[in-house]
């Protein structure tokens, strides 16, 4: 195309310049949007708040919460005002939520729980509370060593029940931890209801950075579902009553079909020899495969599973200096019941190995 008119030339030049600038601008805008999205993805919940920041109780989600507590659980406005007044963010709670122990490799995780002190103390507890544990096994049907091992892992036999205000923790996680806000809203409701049912001031209860409390470290919904009285009164006391603590732990596991004296796990070696086993392992704690398949694929002698129930396949990380990277086990239904208590396979294995150590004379 030949342009002879100067006016047309200037117009074309201006358009060319405009589109060039527009192109750069759009490209810059795209880069800005991508960088902003990436930065937000890297940000953690604790980065978005200040410690001690007052919680805005006029938010729609809090107004809906108050309405539910009034209409469904008979809280008065005066009770709600007293409970929620002065609630503020605990930034440390948010920091710890993103640094949970269960994310560590097993060779770093288990030594914090399977310790000489925990083993020695646990053996003394088995003797001290023999009569109670006899009743637990007879009436609830859960092995005593596992009950005591969970007691050890959760609170060092009741000596470390947590120092965080459960009320503040649950409010912090409901308000400022978006990834699990709905879950912690439900826990906040359960917590306030259990306090009301037991005539306890919610501001007085201490617990973990995740809202668990007592020697059992139950979250509020678990307390309401599984805590039992085992000491002759009607009060479910997981703070001070050892019979209630031990029976409540056992009752939780019993609800997930615990088999007394049943197998916990079987060693499978350092590699999985079948694609179905590999796929099951990659599914995590919900993966299942028949025990016959495990036996035949790995060519190992393993005990039958109670009720012919399926097994899970668990990979446990070995120290970097080890010849192999992984240790594989088959988790039996009893092992799986522990993962219902805590969803980490590493947690379940630490409890299992501590229970094994407690059995040894």
Report pLDDT digits (tens) over 177-219.
999 999 999 999 999 999 999 889 999 999 999 999 999 999 9
Lowest mean pLDDT among 29-43, 58-72, 74-88, 170-184: 29-43
User: Is 361's pLDDT higher than 90?
Assistant: no
CB atoms < 10 A from the CB of 8, how many? 11
Q: How confident is the prediction for the chain on average, in pLDDT?
A: 91
Using pLDDT thresholds of 50, 70 and 90, give the confidence band for residue 38: very low
- Residues 247 and 241: their CA atoms lie apart, in Å, by 10
- Residues 240 and 243: their CA atoms lie apart, in Å, by 9
Q: Strand (E) positions, 4-134?
A: none
Judged on CB neighbours under 10 Å (0-12, 13-18, 19+), 153 is buried
Q: 231 forms bridges with which residues in the sheet?
A: none
Which residue, 323, 326, 330, is CA-closest to 300? 330
- Residues 131 and 227: their CA atoms lie apart, in Å, by 20
The pLDDT, as a whole number, for residue 99 is 81
- Residues 79 and 82: their CA atoms lie apart, in Å, by 5
Q: 54 forms bridges with which residues in the sheet?
A: 88
Helix (H, G, I), strand (E, B) or coil at 325: coil
Tell me how long the chain is.
Answer: 361
Report pLDDT digits (tens) over 150-159.
999 999 999 9
Q: What is the pTM of this model?
A: 0.86
Residue 17, phi then psi, degrees to nearest 5: -65, -40
- Residues 122 and 356: their CA atoms lie apart, in Å, by 11
Using pLDDT thresholds of 50, 70 and 90, give the confidence band for residue 19: very low
């Amino acid at each position: 195309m030949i342009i002879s008119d100067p006016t047309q030339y200037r117009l074309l030049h201006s358009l060319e310049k405009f589109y060039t600038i527009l192109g750069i601008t759009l490209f810059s805008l795209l880069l800005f949007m991508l960088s902003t999205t990436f930065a937000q993805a890297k940000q953690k919940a604790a980065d978005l708040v200040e410690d001690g920041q007052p919680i805005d109780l006029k938010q729609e989600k809090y107004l809906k919460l108050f309405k539910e507590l009034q209409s469904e659980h008979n809280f008065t406005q005066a009770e709600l005002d007293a409970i929620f007044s002065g609630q503020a963010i605990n930034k440390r709670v948010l920091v710890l939520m993103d640094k949970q122990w269960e994310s560590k490799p097993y060779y770093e995780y288990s030594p914090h729980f399977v310790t000489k002190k925990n083993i020695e103390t646990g053996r003394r507890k088995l003797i001290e509370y023999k009569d109670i544990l006899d009743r637990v096994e007879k009436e609830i049907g859960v092995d005593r060593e596992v009950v005591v091992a969970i007691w050890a892992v959760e609170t060092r036999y009741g000596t470390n029940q947590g120092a965080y205000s459960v009320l503040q923790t649950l409010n912090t996680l409901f308000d400022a931890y978006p990834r699990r806000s709905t879950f912690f809203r439900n826990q906040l409701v359960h917590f306030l209801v259990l306090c009301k049912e037991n005539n306890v001031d919610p501001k007085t209860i201490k617990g973990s950075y995740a809202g668990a409390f007592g020697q059992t470290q139950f979250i509020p919904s678990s307390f309401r579902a599984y805590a039992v009285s085992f000491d002759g009164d009607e009060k479910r006391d997981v703070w001070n009553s050892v019979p209630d603590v031990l029976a409540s732990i056992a009752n939780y596991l019993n609800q997930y079909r615990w088999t007394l004296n049943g197998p916990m796990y079987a060693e499978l070696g350092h590699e999985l020899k079948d694609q179905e086993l590999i796929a099951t392992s990659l599914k995590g704690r919900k993966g299942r495969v028949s025990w016959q398949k495990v036996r035949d694929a790995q060519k190992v002698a393993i005990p039958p599973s109670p009720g012919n129930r399926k097994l899970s396949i668990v990979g446990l990380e070995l120290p970097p200096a080890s010849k192999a990277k992984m240790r594989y086990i088959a988790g039996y239904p009893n092992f799986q019941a522990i993962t219902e208590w805590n969803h980490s396979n590493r947690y379940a294995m630490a409890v299992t190995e501590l229970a094994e150590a407690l059995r040894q004379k």
